[in-house]
């Protein structure tokens, strides 16, 4: 059986390419064991990362200038958007696609052949968006969150590293993420940005409860819960791979959804997402992850003070500039200059991969 695009995996990356492929008039086949699975994670992104074709109705909440705390408060001069995740999924319509509920067992992207467990063989251009599997070798992001109904307007914290979560200052750190979900509900999530191994849900739950209690925010224990665990490294560019599988996850933030949405048209056109600049940026980001994993836990607030003091365009380059090599380098240089001298040496060692 033949299609112009054979898309393996219907997560955000695969579905975005399928949707845009159909919009461009391509014959599209999508293969996923559970194509009807409704997405439930709370997806969010910076508004300036999203392509113009995104259905604005899929955005549940918009925050202009969220806060970030290191050891003091900073306003992030960007607009942050939280999706109605099921709405985002529904807006990426698949009308006209051949939907195959099956598991892909073999992909030969060079030859353009995909085989499924059920015995189907498809030929055409392959987009392998099957995500990443967990492994002890891969750093992961973990989080534990509760969804609370709130009458009062909560400040949005993109990151809040204040030390009121009961953790020992020398233990792996975690931060509080607070975002509106639309209506009168707010997500409060204690997050381990990256760890190898990452903090467990139990540790994060205790820290969250400690923090909310310290802030006088009551919880009953019956609130809806969000659990997060996914690898932030391990994706590899090339051979038709896309999304997390194709290396689009930012290893120092865990974000990939906006990058996949933004790159979908490039993939449909048959162009590469992995320009030499993008590959160099990816190498710098991996160095950033090494720095993060090695950073002394008690100084993490100082590190993020330095990051959020950077001008917004530099923050943007580092967080969202998939192929912005010049901006990423400028951001890293400026961050280095902002750090106290005693933290710089450890950073250089980690970034260069010494001791590894």
Ligand X SMILES: Cc1cc2nc3c(=O)[nH]c(=O)nc-3n(C[C@H](O)[C@H](O)[C@H](O)COP(=O)(O)OP(=O)(O)OC[C@H]3O[C@@H](n4cnc5c(N)ncnc54)[C@H](O)[C@@H]3O)c2cc1C
Instruction: Summarize as ranges the residues that interact with ligand X (CB under 6 A).
Output: 8-14, 31-34, 41-44, 103-104, 129-131, 226, 228, 230, 243-245, 249, 254-258, 260
* Nearest distance, CB of residue 298 and ligand X, angstroms: 27
Sign of torsion over alpha carbons 194, 195, 201, 203: negative
Residue whose CB is less far from ligand X, 10 or 60: 10
* Nearest distance, CB of residue 232 and ligand X, angstroms: 8
Q: Can you tell me the distance from the alpha carbon of 20 to that of 327, in angstroms, rounded to the nearest whole number?
A: 29
345 SS3 class: helix
Residue whose CB is less far from ligand X, 131 or 180: 131
Residue whose CB is less far from ligand X, 60 or 228: 228
* Nearest distance, CB of residue 44 and ligand X, angstroms: 4
Residue whose CB is less far from ligand X, 205 or 309: 205
Do the Cβ atoms of 235 and 244 come closer than 8 Å?
A: yes
The tokens describing 164, both together, are 């009121």
Q: Which residues are CB-contacts of 23 (< 8 A; sequence separation ≥ 6)?
A: 53
* Nearest distance, CB of residue 339 and ligand X, angstroms: 27
Instruction: Give the closest residue to 265 by CA, choosing from 48, 21, 26, 54.
Output: 21
The tokens describing 270, both together, are 């048959």
Residue whose CB is less far from ligand X, 228 or 347: 228
Alpha-carbon separation of residue 106 from 117, 121, 139, 246 (angstroms): 9, 9, 26, 16
* Nearest distance, CB of residue 172 and ligand X, angstroms: 19
* Nearest distance, CB of residue 3 and ligand X, angstroms: 15
Phi, psi of 197 (to 5 degrees): -85, 160
Q: Can you tell me the distance from the alpha carbon of 163 to that of 340, in angstroms, rounded to the nearest whole number?
A: 20
Q: Which residue has the tokens 């381990």?
A: 192
Residue whose CB is less far from ligand X, 255 or 304: 255
**Nearest-CB residue to ligand X?**
11
């Amino acid at each position: 059986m033949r299609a112009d695009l054979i898309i393996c995996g219907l997560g955000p990356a695969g579905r975005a390419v399928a949707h845009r492929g159909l919009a461009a008039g391509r014959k599209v086949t999508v293969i996923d064991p559970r194509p009807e699975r409704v997405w439930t994670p709370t997806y969010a992104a910076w508004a300036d990362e999203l392509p113009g074709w995104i259905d604005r109705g899929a955005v549940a909440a918009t925050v202009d200038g969220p806060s970030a705390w290191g050891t003091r408060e900073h306003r992030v001069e960007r607009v942050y958007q939280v999706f109605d995740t099921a709405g985002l999924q529904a807006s990426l319509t698949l009308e006209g696609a051949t939907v195959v509920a099956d598991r892909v067992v073999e992909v030969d992207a060079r030859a353009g052949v995909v085989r499924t467990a059920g015995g189907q063989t498809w030929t055409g251009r392959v987009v392998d968006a099957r995500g990443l599997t967990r492994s002890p070798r891969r750093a992961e992001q973990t989080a534990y969150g509760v969804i609370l109904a709130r009458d009062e307007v909560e400040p949005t914290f993109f990151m809040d590293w204040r030390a009121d979560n009961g953790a020992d200052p020398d233990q792996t750190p975690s931060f509080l993420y607070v975002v509106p979900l639309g209506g009168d509900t707010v997500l409060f999530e204690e997050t381990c940005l990256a760890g190898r191994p990452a903090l467990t849900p139990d540790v994060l739950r205790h820290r969250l409860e400690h923090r909310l209690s310290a802030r006088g925010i009551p919880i009953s224990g019956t609130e809806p819960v969000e659990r997060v665990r996914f690898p932030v490294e391990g994706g590899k560019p090339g051979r038709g791979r896309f999304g997390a599988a194709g290396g689009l996850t930012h290893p120092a933030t865990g974000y990939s959804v906006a990058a996949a949405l933004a790159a979908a048209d490039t993939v449909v056109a048959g162009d590469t997402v992995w320009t030499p600049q993008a590959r160099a940026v990816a190498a710098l980001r991996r160095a950033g992850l090494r720095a993060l994993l090695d950073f002394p836990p008690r100084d993490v607030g100082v590190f993020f003070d330095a990051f959020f003091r950077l001008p917004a365009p530099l923050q943007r380059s580092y967080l969202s500039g998939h192929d912005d090599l010049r901006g990423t380098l400028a951001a890293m240089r400026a961050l280095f200059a902002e750090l106290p001298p005693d933290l710089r040496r450890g950073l250089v060692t980690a970034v260069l991969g010494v001791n590894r």
